[in-house]
């Protein structure tokens, strides 16, 4: 037993020393790069006048903002020593792809690569597909027929958007929307994080599922044709709207479905 404890101590001590050396070396490297990293630089800037029908975005570490603008454009600003963003158009599809150059073993605290990709969209497009890894995603005031937003570990924020169909899937992080409109379907899925919908358009087929976190939905107008279904395994459910106290208003042709494994559900 004594021999095992000594071996365990030696192994732990060696691990601490190795990590300390790694942090020191990385700190020296970061110190040399401070003069660069403190100055935000533009590593990509493009503007397009071509006919674009769909947009595909694949990001790794960067925060991404997609918003309405006067033209199709992309700007990437930040640490271009670690981040490279490719942008090109193929068959009326705009493709943006981020590549992050990082070592296999990285002692940099929180693996902090700061970069922000800003995309502007001037008109309605057929399709928007976003796959984000660690950076946050913001979508503001755009018009899309079908939008699919996927994230591994990020907060997703959608504001003043118009969508025929909106699909959002997040593994770890909050999902928040405000004043969005949809003609057909809104579907939000989250594994870990809160889902908050403000100023929601009433009488739209809406499907929300959360494994761990609260669901909060606030309508900007009273629903007139909605059927409410709530399933909550562990948490409280509160419906503050008189119209939905009996789970149905009008013919109930539009379905509001809220499913939660662990967390509260609030509708008002």
Taking only the tens place, the pLDDT of each residue in 122-175 is 999 999 999 999 899 999 999 999 999 999 999 999 999 999 999 999 999 999
**What are the two backbone dihedrals, phi and then psi, of residue 201, each rounded to the nearest 5 degrees?**
-70, 130
pLDDT band with cut points at 50, 70 and 90 for residue 83: confident
Q: What is the gyration radius of the CA atoms in the chain, in angstroms?
A: 23
**Domain assignments of the chain as residue spans, ordered by start:** 1-37, 40-100+111-265
**pLDDT value of residue 8:** 54
Residue 228 clears pLDDT 60, i.e. is over it:
yes
Query: Considering only CA atoms, which of 125, 259, 91, 248 is closest in space to residue 191?
Result: 259
109 band by pLDDT with thresholds 50, 70 and 90: very low
Model pLDDT, residue 187 = 98
Poorest-pLDDT segment among 112-121, 196-205, 251-260: 112-121
pLDDT of residue 22 exceeding 80: no
Q: Comparing 8-12, 27-31, 51-55, which segment has the lowest mean pLDDT?
A: 27-31
Contacts of 20 (CB under 8 A, 6+ apart): none
The pTM for the full model equals 0.83
Of the chain, the percentage scoring pLDDT greater than 70 comes to 81
The predicted model gives 227-241 an average pLDDT of 95
> Residue 18: its pLDDT value, please?
61
Q: Can you tell me whether residue 209 is helix, strand or coil?
A: strand
Are 203 and 227 in contact by the 8 Å Cβ rule? The answer is: no
The pLDDT value given to residue 25: 46
CA pair distance 45, 255, nearest whole angstrom = 43
> Which three-class secondary structure string do you get for 68-105?
ECCCEEEEEEECCCCEEEEEEEECCEEEEEEEECCCCC
Complete edge-to-edge strand list for the sheet that includes strand 137-140: 41-48, 72-78, 115-121, 63-68, 137-140, 156-159, 175-178, 195-200, 215-219, 265-267, 237-239
If one compares 15 and 7, the residue with the highest pLDDT of the two is 15
Q: What sign does the CA torsion over 187, 195, 223, 139 have?
A: negative
Question: Which fold would CATH assign to domain 40-100+111-265?
Answer: Pectate Lyase C-like (2.160.20)
């Amino acid at each position: 037993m004594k021999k095992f404890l000594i071996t365990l101590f030696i192994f732990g001590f060696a691990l601490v020393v190795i990590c300390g050396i790694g942090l020191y070396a990385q700190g020296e490297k970061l110190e040399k790069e401070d003069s660069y990293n403190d100055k935000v630089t533009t590593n990509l800037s493009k503007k397009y006048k071509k006919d674009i029908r769909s947009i595909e975005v694949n990001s790794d570490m960067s925060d991404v903002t997609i918003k309405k603008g006067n033209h199709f454009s992309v700007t990437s600003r930040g640490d271009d020593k670690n981040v490279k963003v490719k942008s090109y158009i193929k068959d009326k599809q705009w493709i943006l792809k981020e590549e992050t150059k990082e070592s296999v073993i990285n002692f940099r605290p929180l693996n902090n690569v700061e970069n922000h990709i800003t995309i502007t969209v001037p008109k309605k497009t057929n399709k928007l597909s976003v796959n984000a890894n660690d950076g946050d995603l913001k979508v503001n005031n755009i018009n899309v027929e079908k939008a699919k937003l996927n994230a591994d570990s990020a907060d997703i924020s959608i504001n003043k958007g118009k969508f025929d169909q909106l699909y959002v899937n997040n593994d770890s992080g909050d999902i928040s929307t405000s004043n969005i409109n949809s003609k057909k379907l809104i579907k939000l899925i989250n594994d870990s994080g809160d889902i908050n919908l403000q100023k929601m358009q009433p009488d739209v087929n809406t499907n929300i599922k959360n494994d761990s976190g609260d669901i909060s939905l606030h309508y900007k107008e009273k629903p007139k044709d909605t059927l409410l279904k709530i399933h909550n395994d562990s948490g409280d459910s509160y419906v503050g709207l008189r119209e939905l106290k009996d789970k149905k208003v009008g013919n109930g042709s539009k379905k509001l479905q809220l499913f939660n494994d662990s967390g509260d559900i609030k509708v008002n």
